[in-house]
Structure 1
Amino acid sequence: MKFKMTRNQLIVVVALFLVFFDNISFFKHVTQVYDVSIANSGFLLSLGVVLVASITVLLSLFASRYTLKPLAIAFLLLASLTNYFMNTYNVILDDTMIQNAMETNANESLDLVNWNLLGYFFFLGIIPSFLIYRVPILHGSFKQEAWNKAKSIGIALVLIAVMLFAFNRFYTSFFRENKPLRYYTNPTYCLYSAGSYIYNSFYKKEATLKQIGLDATKEEGGTRKLTIVVVGEAARANRFSLNGYERQTNPLLQKEDIINFSNVYSCGTSTAISVPCMFSNLGRQNYSDKEAKSTENVIDVLKHSGVNVLWRDNNSDSKGVALRVEYHDYKISQNNTLCEDECRDEGMLVGLQKYVDAQKGDIVIVLHQMGNHGPAYYKRYPKAFEKFTPVCQTNQVEKCSAEEIGNAYDNAILYTDYFLSKTIAFLKQNDQNFQTSMIYMADHGESLGEKGLYLHGIPYFMAPEEQTHIGALMWFGSQSKERIDVVSLTQRSSQEYSHDNLFHTILGVMGVKTALYDRTKDILTYKHQ
């Protein structure tokens, strides 16, 4: 006789499978707070019951004769992938991480594909999905199905209530003091985050673009200004030898007359948040993705003032910052002449002199690096920069030792050192005709296995310093030094700064006057004010 299941039976089986096989990361983090002991055993067991009941309610609410199997299969496939990323990289799939994933190009996404991921997807996603597809479901009349659904949801809610009441003391601390633990439930939190992302991106009322800095004007007279703003990628401060790191990762920059800022912190822990935030005037405390996308940024203010602006990008894109200025994609070989397995940051400098020569007036150029984009750090630099060995030669960093991961990461920092030194050399060639300046700030940091964390994207309030403490430095040409008080700046270089300062610093170095400019937030000081 062919095996058959009722609708409710299938939902409970799927919920049990998800809790037992796809919530390893959740229970691992729970037991780090609530140790496995006789005193805690009842509570730990109740968490499994509550999670099974919650998934049952969620599936029951949206499952019908026609949606039951597709919905159950979608849950399993999603949970298998979420399970892999949480177990492997110890990341949380919140709305910011989903946004980052949606805004990442195909080539970068391929860096995350490996046999382990495919194994999770096949054994925890494809196989159970195929079994669900094949099993016949017993359906009753509409009235019977409605009653069964109500009964299933009712029993699940009663179970949740009983568990919460029975272990009230534990759940009080669980919900109030250990909120981050909920972020590891799979796939419930990921689904919640996806819903939040979709709502905020597509269903919230779209605001018309708010123009800012329409009063912006340039300083009259004087030598033209040329500033290059380099946006670094995943470059944490404590891997720069400029900041005291024992390895020589900045040999070329140490020969330059640069000012290193050792105490700079990011606005976010992902490119999707940090890049638009660092160019906005919202500040980290007031930042929201929706507000940033509906409000102009410092790039627009520069354009209003008459400054020529160019954005060259060797990362995924500008995250909406450069939508209204000249933009060049340097992830493609048609534009970037230095492409091997992937296109190099150095290629963004090729042909740049031709652009500068063609402009009249002041110029700001933004170069958005590929930098230290993980997890395939070994791809981020030419072989000639493989100074620290052995290196992790795979995107499966969990298979590599801490030394191998660190070596590959440090080699990528070494290549950034080279790229920035070449950028300075380019500016030196133009120092006779311009007040030249370079500002480098990374978008966020990176975890390399510390505390079991890899990559980045942890919610800011719980992010480790490795993901928020970033590399930052500046260089000024001889004519710029006649205007900028470099001595004072050097003395203050160890003070704490953040992405919140960049908006005003760019306006200040370019001499742009606007009511938006806040001199107290400009990192620079000037000899004649």
Structure 2
Amino acid sequence: MKYLLNFLKTNAVILLSALAFTVLYNGAFFNHFNQIYTSFNLSFFISIGIVLFAVTALALSLLCYRKTTKPVLILLFIIAAFTAYYMNTYDIIVDKTMIQNIVQTNVKEATDLFTWKMVGYFLVLGALPAFIISRVNLPKSTFKAALGNKIKIILLLLLIIVSQAATFSKNYSSFFREHKIVRFYANPITPVYSAIQFGIQSHTDGSPQEITPLGEDAKKSASDTDRHLTILVVGETARADHFSLNGYSKPTNPLLEKEQVVSLKNLSSCGTSTAVSVPCMFSGLGRENYSEKKFNASENLLDVLNRAGVQVLWRDNNSDSKGVMTRLGAFYQDYKDPKINTICDVECRDEGMLVGLQEFIDQNKNRDITIVLHPMGSHGPAYYNRYPKAFEKFTPACQTNLLEKCSVEEIANAFDNTILYTDYFLSKVIVLLKPNASHFQTAMIYMADHGESLGENGVYLHGMPYSIAPVAQKHPASIIWLGDGFKGLSFEALKQKADEPLSHDYLFSTILGLNKIETKIYDPKMDFLRP
């Protein structure tokens, strides 16, 4: 008994921390578990709790060793507090892609996510246990004794896990085979594992590497004497099923419905976050082959256009180009800055990117031009900030970033007001393009990077792993407008393509085709504007 007490005392901090994580920080995990097992099975529920405790304690045992114990546990409590907040509030999974999104989040986006509820989580579940850990006197031991205790606790925890798996073998077999999503909610195991994955990938990908040229043979078709002016609007967080052009009950597209536009109703995104979808759209790799490492090691669509003599310009009112403009920085303009964007109130507005754009077009009239506009669009959770108050047509609209305090109807109304403003913004892009039809073949392509969850089944925002993400996050809006005299696909022929299953993968060759660029990397089958 004395030996057991000494053993427990030595490992008390790890075991108590694991117990705290299991009971206090895994509400989302157990909530999703209960959603699966509608017929409550108390014995299996307790077993799942025991296994989660043992796995958490095992992970802590591997991470904590003598002098590293305190700093590791303090860091983990703070991470777990924030993770618990986002999982419980937005049902967000903190996987490797979400870690990437967090790292790339700018100050404005971070401000939108700040709430006093988050501060409460940090103080109670983060700072308080971190302070307690800092005051604990850990037993001192020799290297040999510490290693022996480490081996013993690991063996004990493994024995607990194996015994539970054996006792409920049928339950666990079904659980891990059919309900893999639940394990993503294990806190802090998932965020720590994801952070390690991201760190390893960043270290590997961050080393200097030679950039592989893309489309070195790219040139403008000799038979094409026309000039092409294309504005590509890389929309933010717009759901296809909230566009009235696609049959949505609310009139969210009153201005675009007056134009000859075609809505691509069956488009699939490359990812569920900007950090994945935007570079993937321009990479030419396709969703199945895309990886951040491959993207960073190669040129992309805009490099090819620039090589072929097309004048490229990127105006950004969002985060940034996500690496797309790395080699074309001279043609990147940041419109989040009020010194540049002349239309700002609570934040700089997307329509500000259009100011002075005609002058840029006039200066390059003898060249093909491709302009990329990256608007703030419908980025959540502060939807109410994404549009001027004059566009608050759908009410009552949620007026807080604490989405759980609003009804599903209020959240949808606020989101729909952002779509209404996007409708206005896109109509102004068309108004800009129309007078240029006498000198250019003009076209506008609007393609949102991903969709958004608006509280359906308790899920909010975006960024879920693609394999388990709701359709709402993978079904973005996309609209095409072609100017009068466009040589190629007619408006009527384009309408026939509106219901075809398309994806972000088509953008690469479609833009090359629009500009009549000849290159081996152009795939006519992936050009949805090809006659």
Instruction: Give the alignment's TM-score, normalised by structure 2.
Output: 0.95
Alignment partner, residue 217 of structure 1: 219
- Figure out how many residues of one structure are paired with residues of the other and give that number: 520
Structure 1 CA distance for aligned equivalents of residues 96 and 307 of structure 2: 33
Cα shift readout 1:384-427 (whole Å, capped 9, x = no counterpart): 11111111111101111111111110000000000000000111
CA contact (8 A) 1:485 1:525 kept: no
Cα shift readout 1:2-31 (whole Å, capped 9, x = no counterpart): xx9944101101000000000111011112
SS of the residue 2:437 aligns to: coil
CA contact (8 A) 2:384 2:397 kept: yes
Alignment partner, residue 291 of structure 2: 288
Structure 1 CA distance for aligned equivalents of residues 63 and 129 of structure 2: 20
Q: Does 1:431 align with 2:417?
A: no
Alignment partner, residue 248 of structure 1: 251
Equivalent in 381, 384, 389 of residue 387 of structure 2: 381
Alignment partner, residue 409 of structure 2: 403
CA contact (8 A) 1:96 1:457 kept: yes
Equivalent in 278, 288, 299 of residue 302 of structure 2: 299
Q: CA deviation at 1:502?
A: 0.6
Q: CA deviation at 1:242?
A: 0.3
CA contact (8 A) 1:93 1:189 kept: yes
The one-letter amino acid of 2:180's match is K
Q: CA deviation at 1:42?
A: 2.4
Equivalent in 356, 361, 368 of residue 361 of structure 2: 356
Structure 1 CA distance for aligned equivalents of residues 344 and 321 of structure 2: 20
Equivalent in 437, 454, 460 of residue 454 of structure 1: 460
Q: CA deviation at 1:333?
A: 1.1
Structure 1 CA distance for aligned equivalents of residues 530 and 396 of structure 2: 44
Alignment partner, residue 464 of structure 1: 470
SS of the residue 2:372 aligns to: strand
Alignment partner, residue 508 of structure 2: 503
Structure 1 CA distance for aligned equivalents of residues 150 and 286 of structure 2: 48
Q: Does 1:121 align with 2:122?
A: yes
Q: CA deviation at 1:43?
A: 2.1
Q: Does 1:54 align with 2:55?
A: yes
Structure 2 CA distance for aligned equivalents of residues 65 and 242 of structure 1: 62
CA contact (8 A) 1:54 1:156 kept: yes
Greater displacement, 408-417 / 126-135: 126-135
Alignment partner, residue 175 of structure 2: 174
Cα shift readout 1:165-188 (whole Å, capped 9, x = no counterpart): 221111111222211111110010
Percentage identity across aligned positions? 52
CA contact (8 A) 2:260 2:491 kept: no
Unaligned runs of 5+ in 2: 1-5
Structure 2 CA distance for aligned equivalents of residues 61 and 96 of structure 1: 24
Greater displacement, 494-503 / 157-166: 157-166
SS of the residue 2:326 aligns to: coil
CA contact (8 A) 2:488 2:529 kept: no
Unaligned runs of 5+ in 1: none
Alignment partner, residue 3 of structure 2: none
Alignment partner, residue 189 of structure 1: 190
CA contact (8 A) 1:488 1:525 kept: no
Structure 2 CA distance for aligned equivalents of residues 476 and 36 of structure 1: 55
SS of the residue 1:138 aligns to: coil
Alignment partner, residue 420 of structure 1: 426
CA contact (8 A) 1:6 1:139 kept: no
Structure 2 CA distance for aligned equivalents of residues 438 and 168 of structure 1: 57
Alignment partner, residue 82 of structure 1: 83
CA 1:203–1:7 in 2, change beyond 3 Å: closer, same or farther?
farther
Structure 2 CA distance for aligned equivalents of residues 347 and 202 of structure 1: 38
Structure 2 CA distance for aligned equivalents of residues 243 and 176 of structure 1: 37
The one-letter amino acid of 1:66's match is K
SS of the residue 1:324 aligns to: coil
Alignment partner, residue 64 of structure 1: 65
Q: Does 1:333 align with 2:338?
A: yes
Alignment partner, residue 208 of structure 1: 210
Instruction: Give the alignment's TM-score, normalised by structure 1.
Output: 0.96
Q: CA deviation at 1:479?
A: 2.8
Cα shift readout 1:349-377 (whole Å, capped 9, x = no counterpart): 01111211222310000001100000000
SS of the residue 1:336 aligns to: coil
Structure 2 CA distance for aligned equivalents of residues 391 and 349 of structure 1: 28
Cα shift readout 1:319-369 (whole Å, capped 9, x = no counterpart): 111112211111111221112111110011011112112223100000011
Q: CA deviation at 1:447?
A: 0.5
